[in-house]
Amino acid sequence: MFGKYRRAARPGLNMKIPLLESVYRKVSIQNRSVELEFQAVTNDQANVYFKSMLLYSVQNADEETIKKVAFKFFADKDLMQALIRTIEGNIRSFVATKKQAEILALRKEIVEYVKTEIDLQLETWGYHLQDLQINDITFDKVILDSMSRVVASNNLKAAAENEGQALLITKTKAAEAEGNAIKISAEAEKEAARLRGQGVALFRQEVAKGMTEAAEQMKQANLDTNVILFSMWTEAIKNFAEFGKGNVIFLDGSPDGMEMTMKQIQALMIKQAGQPK
């Protein structure tokens, strides 16, 4: 009334006294949004470009709040200018304390910092910051190219390390497998040699046993046991001729030569029989 605040009308049907009352401003309590694009500089003098979206609203529908919204600023454009510059200033002050390499990982921290700093200021204007979304953070092309090279080199380094580890594992496993194979082969050869030795020893035992029994039988029949030696000698000559594969073996077939051979075999058998078992 006459340029002085009188009352705030609520939504719905309201009465206005003609000539005495006039509507100064209509205040909407719905959410509002605005997009921001601005630049900041990091602690290491790198330019950072932000694209963000601001969501805000009137704090509540109380009369005191409505009065703040209606009279704090002359027009909405003045509110928007103050709001945008305040948010940009807070983000710039935060970014100025950080290095370029840290910025991309600090979206959440930036939003929390701005909300903490600006909420109290907005309350004095009758508004509340609902949300601040940082949609895009970019740098100068030179910095983006260098970041791409760093990422590429790190990927190559990681790939080389992985290939080295894989090769090391492959070589280690191959060496272990080869070592195990050699060990198994050696153990098998050792066991085979032991079994061959047992077989040869058993064969000799059976031959000796058979010869002993044959000699006893011949003694009981009053026969010369030298016949056994002669049989062994002729059997050996037969095997030489059958399996010699063309080798030439000179044997003395005269009676004196045969007698000398028999004596040598007898002496060898006596010598072996006299050795301790």
Question: What is the pLDDT, as a whole number, of residue 39?
Answer: 87
| Listed ranges 4-8, 146-150, 162-166; the one with the highest mean pLDDT | 162-166
Question: What is the pLDDT, as a whole number, of residue 36?
Answer: 86
What mean pLDDT do residues 174-197 have? 85
| Strand, coil or helix: 54 | strand
Question: What is the model's pTM?
Answer: 0.46
**Tokens 């990982």 label which residue?**
105
Residue 92's nearest CA partner among 152, 39, 163, 130 is 39
In the predicted structure, residue 49 carries a pLDDT above the cut 80: yes
Residue 49: partners with Cβ closer than 8 Å, 6 or more residues away: 37, 38, 39, 136, 137, 138, 139
| Strand, coil or helix: 130 | strand
Q: What is the CATH number of domain 32-137?
A: 3.30.479.30
Question: What is the pLDDT, as a whole number, of residue 268?
Answer: 64
In the predicted structure, residue 224 carries a pLDDT above the cut 70: no
Question: What is the pLDDT, as a whole number, of residue 226?
Answer: 67
Number of C-beta neighbours around residue 36 at 10 A: 17
Question: What is the pLDDT, as a whole number, of residue 129?
Answer: 85
The stretches of the chain forming alpha helices (DSSP H) are 63-71, 76-95, 100-103, 107-125, 141-220, 226-243, 255-274
Distance CA 2, CA 206 (A): 141
Of residues 276 and 92, more confidence is placed in 92
Considering Cα of 200, then 201, then 206, then 208, what sign does the dihedral take? positive
How is residue 238 annotated by DSSP?
A: H
Question: What is the pLDDT, as a whole number, of residue 69?
Answer: 78
Q: Residue type at 74?
A: F
